[in-house]
Amino acid sequence: MNAPVQQRWPRPADERWGDRLRLRLAVEHGVPAPVAEEAVAEARLACWESGRPAEELFGAADEHAAEVARERVPVERRAAVDLDGTSPRDRWATLLLGAGSGGLVGGVSLLVAQGWTTAVTPAGLAVLAATAVGLAGAAWGVLERRAGRLGRGWAWIAAGAAGLVACVAAADALRDRPALGELPVPLVLLVSLALVVAGAKLPQRPATLDAGAAGDPDEWFARLAGLLRGRYHLSRADARARVEEARGYWRDSGSAHPGDEFGTPEVHALHLVEDSPEPRRRRVRLQAWSCTALAALCAATAVRTALEEGFGGELLWRAAVVAVVTCLAVGAWRRSAPQRDQDLA
């Protein structure tokens, strides 16, 4: 079989399967690009040699991606990241990408609503600071929570919320101050795009386990519970039951430390949930609730705009935002249904 043929898939459906396999390996499992490309190439070659479809040979792309990750990525590396393949080391990349994406959306909104320039006011700068502080606190808090440090995660979220409230209060106090000047909206888009590029290009070090994260047995089991709840989204009752089961097994084993029996809390937490669809289903359900709340907030803003200003350009783009967020919420709710495990993103 010549090289050009080997670079193609036998069927369009197989090519779509291979693209999804590559995507899931990179996004969900954090598999290094060379390993992912090797797995895709092996699947493509198997399809040519057998004459059978990829899904018939390997099953659903998502399931095969999980199998490839288990077989080819060390368990310590898989256990060091959350369900999105991130860890607290990625906080700056997360912040830059979030700020840049939000800036692009805001810039497009300003372009539609106000044209090529917008007034820069002290109140507007305070709102910008509120957004940055709230975003940073939320990003830091979520990453700490997913790392199993629930208390630290809530502390970051609370700090972000407090900063948000303070900046909003400052914005309200400054709302009557005159504008400081005019800002070109294309400049906002360029800066936001630069933030996205910087976040994507930020050097990423592979996440590693913290060997000293859990010293005595109580700390080890507390970290295990934090990981089950914060990273894998188990309920408090489910996490407690699994921790108590592990504690009982450790006591019966007679080993001096639970780490001698189970390894690190991260590795054991991964072993407990690796074959279960519940963590990803619960994560999608959380995303569904978040999108639903955001859709309700956007809808309330659109209704207020309609009552105060009537039909116009601002109402149109607010209605478009409501439609997009509502579609995201509906999609998340559908993916969170038990019978749709194979479609979880």
Q: What confidence tens digit (pLDDT) does each residue in 54-110 have?
A: 888 888 888 888 888 888 888 888 888 777 777 777 777 877 887 788 778 777 777
SS3 assignment, position 120: strand
In this predicted structure, what is the pLDDT of residue 208? Answer: 62
In this predicted structure, what is the pLDDT of residue 221? Answer: 92
Given pLDDT bands bounded at 50, 70 and 90, which one contains residue 241? very high
Q: What's the rounded Cα separation, in Å, for the pair 132 and 344?
A: 30
Given pLDDT bands bounded at 50, 70 and 90, which one contains residue 139? confident
In this predicted structure, what is the pLDDT of residue 229? Answer: 92
In this predicted structure, what is the pLDDT of residue 345? Answer: 44
Looking at the chain, the whole-number percentage of residues with pLDDT higher than 70 is 91
Going by C-alpha positions, the residue among 167, 95, 108 that lies closest to residue 138 is 95
Dihedral, 214, 218, 220, 223 alpha carbons, nearest 10:
-90
SS3 assignment, position 203: coil
SS3 assignment, position 234: coil
pLDDT, tens only, 247-273:
998 988 888 888 888 888 988 998 888
In this predicted structure, what is the pLDDT of residue 225? Answer: 92
CA 80 vs. chain centroid, Å, equals: 15
Q: Which helix (H) or strand (E) holds 96?
A: helix 91-114
pLDDT of residue 190 exceeding 70:
yes
pLDDT of residue 164 exceeding 50:
yes
> To the nearest whole number, what is the mean pLDDT of the chain?
82
Q: Hey, what long-range contacts does 217-225 have (CB within 8 A, 24 or more apart)?
A: 217/250, 217/257, 217/258, 220/257, 220/258, 220/259, 220/265, 221/246, 221/247, 221/258, 221/265, 223/148, 223/265, 224/148, 224/265, 224/268, 224/269
